[in-house]
Structure 1
Amino acid sequence: MDLKIPNSEKTNDILRNYLAIRLKLINPKIRKVLVNPNFVKEIILHPKRKEIELIFNIAKSGRNLNYFQSKRVIQSRFHDHLLNEWNIYHFHLSSEKDKKSKFVKQVDSLLFVYITDDVFVILGTDKHKYGIFADTKWIEILHDNFPELISQYKIKHWKDVNPKVNATERQTLWDKGYSLPMTKIRDTVYFSPGGGRMTSGHGMNVAESVNDILRWIYKLTDQINEYPKELCEYLQILPEKAKFKVQFGKEKLELVEIESKIKLLEFPEILIEKSELIKRIKTA
């Protein structure tokens, strides 16, 4: 999958643009698949039954589901408001491949899904129309049928949220760059399960991840500068030839030594302390 990231020389921009895409992608892994009980009966006569069952089986087997997402998901400047606010994904219900991309054909019939690291919850379907991505009915389904999945986002002692907006009004506010961090469902108020977003449109998880990675890079830089001689001796390379860099690996960021092509570690690991490194050199 080719990611579309604007050119930049700033580490912060590169990371933000990369993560703006990476955090929208679903990691292929086996998850427990749950289905909205009220939607189960609809599936039987649903005109997109074949596609729904295909997605169900792919999710259950832990295979790649990203090809059912919007083909704009690989663009760093495309911000999925529904995902950023409520952690809800939408899939295009098609098994036909798009001629100009690796995604399925983009159609009006959509499947809405709530995904965590362990659970894949099929909420229901609807047509691609304005306001549908900001309709609280998707959170209501979780509240009514799978409350344990969003219980951590409950705000105790809160009874109401203002201003009160409908789906189209909420969609308009999202499109204009506003975030509504709290949502009232029935008699319960929740923080946004997706974490919300910044005024730039990026999800808050992007900002948090960028900060975590920058702190990691600064820590590695300090360690390398503190004991370069010992580090090079341990790696059996000449200090004057040693060059270290952080690069994107297959799954994570990694620290490598360019001359020897040795991968030292992956994010968020750090180098061993100087005293421990000296011990290892002596016992090698």
Structure 2
Amino acid sequence: MNYHSNVLETTQWSLKIDLKKDLESFMEKQMRKMNIPPSGTRSIMYEYFNTQKRVIFETPRKVVYSREFQCPEEYQEALSQFEQSARKGKNLNTYLSDQIRKPEKSDDLLNDWNIYHFHLTKRFREDGFAKRSDYQIFAWVTADCIYMIQIYPHKEAHLYTKKELLKIIEENWPELLKPHHIKGAVRLSVQLDDEQYGVLRDAHATSFVELGENKVYGLIGGGYMSDGSSGEAVRREQFWHNRLKLFEMVIRGNMPFISSVVRRQRGLEPSVYRFQLLWISNSADSLRLIEWNSHMGVEWFPEKGKLRIFTMEEELDFGGAFEGGVRLL
């Protein structure tokens, strides 16, 4: 986007800034590194966040089993192989559906209940993905642990809408469901069985789950939109669209001040100020830009409503300047 000072301002300036484009360019590069390029059918930002939700990143994890967990004897070796891969931080995405390579696709079970389903097998295709198996592992995955819920036959009725999955989680690891507890909800007015949950999920209708008195849960996996899109990915896309647009407005509204600092620090009066997104803190409460013609930086603290203007030399000389966040350049 191009902006210009008005004729009444004492300092004249031109501004080139497109922070959404900067972020999407970074996201596209990251997706291509993962060999999951944007499909072109959805926004890059949505597909990036959808991919982040679906892909299991490679890192060593603990593996814990529910008390109810049972594995057929003839699949014990395949289960052991899966567990070792998880503990060693190997790629577990090869046990998922190959739809993981399509960033526009959604996983309804994951979006609804935050549960992954893996093929339980030792047989893999030439492209590295697991061959379809007779049994599937159902698990809850965090950054450091895989909670093994249960194994079911692929032919099991209502396989992906079995409320038993959530009951097992609640019985073994109630802390996983606690953030999704609906306070004040004692009972649901209508009790749904597995088949009815399947009908609702096929229609992408958001529903709550009751696991007992005062045990009503909702949006466990972030939910989905009416078209099946990940509700979590949509909300994150909207958040960053709004935050970056507001940052552009802040820069535009503070250009007289920014240009005065550049003039004082550098002795420059650039005809055009060209800003680019440089760094985002992990908590999204701090964002930094670089202005290429003056090599000055601007940091915005949205919650505090403050700006910090600095020289890039000062920033680079400061140890750990880019820790605690993502550097885009």
TM-score (norm 2): 0.66
Match among 86, 98, 103 for residue 71 of structure 1: 98
Report which structure shows greater RCO (CA 8 Å, sep ≥6): 2
* Aligned equivalent of 2:113: 86
* Residue matched to 1:184: 210
Relative to 1, partners in 2 of residues 1:220 and 1:50: Cα closer, same or farther, differing over 3 Å?
farther
1:80 CA drift (Å): 1.1
Alignment match of 1:103 (pick from 125, 129, 133):
129
Residue deviations 1:42-89 (CA, integer Å, cap 9, x gap): 34x532212211222222233321111111122234221111111100
CA change 1:277–1:79 in 2 (3 A) is same
User: For residues 234 and 85 of structure 1, do their structure 2 counterparts lie closer, same or farther at Cα, with a shift above 3 Å needed?
Assistant: farther
Q: Distance in 1 between matches of 2:288 and 2:219?
A: 34
CA distance 1:279–1:138, change in 2 (3 Å): closer
In structure 1, what is the equivalent of residue 138 of structure 2?
112
| 1:86–1:192 Cα contact (<8 Å) kept | yes
1:160 corresponds to: 187
Q: CA deviation at 1:121?
A: 0.1
In the alignment, which residue of structure 2 is the partner of 1:169?
196
Could you say what secondary structure the match of 2:74 adopts?
A: coil
Does the 8 A contact of 1:90 with 1:110 survive in 2?
yes
Matched AA of 2:40:
N
Percent identity for Structure 1 against Structure 2: 20
1:277 aligns with 2:310: yes
- Structure 1 position 51 matched with structure 2 position 81: no
Q: Secondary structure at the match of 1:37?
A: coil
Equivalences, count: 268
Decide whether aligned partners of structure 1 residues 216 and 106 sit closer, same or farther in structure 2, where only a CA change above 3 A counts: farther
Unaligned runs of 5+ in 2: 1-33, 318-329
> Which amino acid letter does the alignment assign opposite residue 22 of structure 1?
Q
Max Rg structure: 2
Is 1:6 aligned with 2:39? yes
Q: What's the CA shift for 1:280?
A: 7.2
Superposition pairs of residues 205-224 of structure 1, within 5 angstroms: 205-222=232-249
CA distance in 1, matches of 2:90, 2:265: 40
**SS of structure 2 residue aligned to 1:82:** helix
- The one-letter code sitting in structure 2 at the alignment partner of 1:115 is V
- Write out aligned runs for 1:253-264 (5 A): none
Q: Does the 8 Å contact 2:137/2:152 carry over to 1?
A: yes
Q: What residue is the counterpart of 1:15 in the other structure?
A: 45
Cα RMSD for the two superposed structures: 4.0
Change (3 A) 1:22 1:148: closer
Separation in structure 2 between the aligned mates of residue 47 and residue 28 of structure 1, nearest angstrom: 28
State the AA in 2 paired with 1:175. Answer: D
Question: Structure 1: which amino acid aligns with 2:136?
Answer: L
Gaps of at least 5 residues in structure 1 are: none
CA contact (8 A) 1:232 1:242 kept: no
Q: CA deviation at 1:119?
A: 2.9
